[in-house]
Structure formats: C-alpha cells, structure tokens
Amino acid sequence: AKQRAGSACEFFEPRMNVRSRARLEAEQSLGRAIVEREFLLEYQPKFRADSRKLCGFEALVRWERPGLGRVSPADFVPAAERTGQISALGQLIIDTATQQLRDWLDRWGLLVPVAVNVSPLQFDDIGFADRLLARLDELGLPHQSLEIEITETAAIGHLGRVLPQLQRLRKAGVLCSMDDFGTGQSSLTMLRQLPISTMKLDRSMIDPLPEPQASAIVKATCALGRSLSLEVVAEGVENEQQAQAARELGCTQLQGYHLSRPLGAVAAGELLGRSLA
C-alpha cells in the first residue's frame, strides 16, 4: 500500500507543482509590481453628447513591466482577482486616482469627476467604502469628484457585499456607473437594485449604429435611463456617425477613440485646464 501511495505521488506531484509554480510566479511578480508601483493610470475623457465639452475621465490601469513593456489590464486584472491581489492593486489605483484629482484641483481650481473601475472582489473587504470616503476626506476632495464603475455581471455574484457598500457610497455623494450595460443577463433587475447614477452602454451596442435595429435598442435604453434620471454614456464611439447617432438616440455622454484615446496624466491635465478655461 505504501508503495502504491508513493507512485501515485510521483505521478501527481510534478503536475501539481507545475500548476502551482506558474501560479506562484504570477502571484510573486504581481505582488512585487504592486510593492514597486509599476502601475500607472491613463485617463480617457468623456464628453457631453450635445456640447462635446469635457465632463469626466475614466481611469484605466496599465502595468509597465521593466524590460517587458506595457501589459493590458485584460491580461493582469483577472489574474489579480484569482490570486486575491486585486484588493491591494485596487487600493493602489484608488490612491493614484485620488492623488491625481488633488493635483488637478490644486493646479486648476476646478475638477471633472474621475471614474475608477472597481472589481466586485474589492467589496469583499467590508471596510472598502469607509476607506474610500476617508481617503477623499483626507485629501479634501468633494465626494462627487470620484465615480466608481462596476459591471452588472460582476455585481450580481457579490450582491450581498456590494449593495450595502454601494448604497453607503451613493448616500455620501460618490457617483456610481453600471459598466458594460447590455452585455449582462439581468440588466433590468440590476438597474432597480443598484443605486447607480450612470449607465454605460457597451461598445457592442454602439458599434453597429446607425443600423436600424441597434438604433431602436439604444433609443429604448436611453429612454429607460432618462426615466430613471440616469446619465447614459455611449462607450467605444469610433466615428462621427456613431457619435451623432448616439446623441440623437438620447445618450448624454460620449466616450471612445473618435473623441479621445486614453491619455497620460500630463495630457489629461492639459485637456482639463483647456476645458475649464
């Protein structure tokens, strides 16, 4: 029996090691990168659909790996969620975005809100909302200068943790967006349950505009948003035709490469200064 157990171990152990070693390596390099602060934020502007005036930014994280270049969040955010490191990374992102807001406020005297993407796992820490509010207060920032973006699909699975904290943040004035609207499975239920101020229509809804069926769906969705007093952002606007269609159909804000790519902090600050002037 002993021998059999031994050979079973020989058979399984190397494979487990490969898997856990790969995981451990990912975990270590992410962990080191968090300590070394190898992450930076880019800021993609959002504009009023009617006047095309700047009305906000969305912070998007990038990982600058020394010698390896820039890694997309699509590649490391899911890994950070799997390893439990999203809390530390998310905290770093919030600290960076709020410090940036403070710097812009000092420089220009005025602000537009900055939206930060938040993973639902960050709400597993029940101190998340309180810490965020404390951070804003510590920096003397109005609560409405920060917005959090959360995907509906992500919120569903963590509603018990997410809902009370979102409610607390909304009551305190922090803005809240439902991201990637139209890609999940229970958009309408979530609209009723989550205390949101904005819905962001996913690029997949905007991309086919001005095709008639897509237009009908966007129009009805905007009407719903309006009747709930929500801002409706068209995401992923890539050409003028889409921009005009989105505005005519009722989207209140536009975001996408056609209006602006995500900008580095310096360029974003300059755009902010020009827009407020």
Cβ neighbours for 113, distance < 8 A, ≥ 6 positions apart: 55, 56, 57, 144, 145, 146, 147, 175
Q: Which does 44 bind (CB under 5 to 8 A by kind): Ca ion, ligand C2E, none?
A: ligand C2E
**Shorter beta-carbon distance to ligand C2E: residue 182 or 256:** 256
Site for ligand C2E, rule CB under 6 A: 44, 59-61, 72-74, 77, 93, 117, 119, 179-180, 203, 236-238, 256-257, 262
Sign of CA dihedral 80, 59, 92, 122: negative
Helix, strand or coil for residue 147?
strand
* Alpha-helical regions (H) of the chain: 2-36, 73-83, 86-108, 128-138, 152-157, 159-171, 187-193, 203-206, 212-227, 240-249, 265-276
Q: How many Cα atoms within 13 Å fall on the side-chain side of residue 50?
A: 4
Binding residues among 186-245 for Ca ion as defined by CB under 5 A: 235
**Is 196 in contact with 176 (CB distance < 8 Å)?**
yes
Q: Minimum distance from CB of 14 to Ca ion (Å)?
A: 38
Return the residue of 44, 98, 100, 117 that touches Ca ion, per CB under 5 A.
117
Return the residue of 147, 152, 179, 231 that touches Ca ion, per CB under 5 A.
179
d(Cα 233, Cα 255) in Å, to the nearest integer?
7
Tokens representing 137? 């207060």
d(Cα 51, Cα 60) in Å, to the nearest integer?
25
Q: Minimum distance from CB of 50 to Ca ion (Å)?
A: 22
Return the residue of 81, 152, 180, 231 that touches Ca ion, per CB under 5 A.
180
**Shorter beta-carbon distance to ligand C2E: residue 61 or 174:** 61
Report if residue 149 touches Ca ion, rule: CB under 5 A: yes
**Shorter beta-carbon distance to ligand C2E: residue 93 or 230:** 93
| Partners of 200 in beta bridges | 233
- Candidate ranges 84-92, 173-181, 212-220, 263-271; the one touching Ca ion (CB under 5 A): 173-181
User: How would you class 121 by CB atoms within 10 Å of its CB: exposed for 0-12, middle for 13-18, buried for 19 or more?
Assistant: buried
**Shorter beta-carbon distance to Ca ion: residue 149 or 231:** 149
- For tokens 């050409």, the residue is 239
Q: Which does 147 bind (CB under 5 to 8 A by kind): ligand C2E, Ca ion, none?
A: none
**Shorter beta-carbon distance to ligand C2E: residue 179 or 252:** 179
**Shorter beta-carbon distance to ligand C2E: residue 77 or 246:** 77
Q: Which does 31 bind (CB under 5 to 8 A by kind): Ca ion, ligand C2E, none?
A: none
- Provide the binding-site residues for Ca ion, judged by CB under 5 A: 117, 149, 179-180, 235
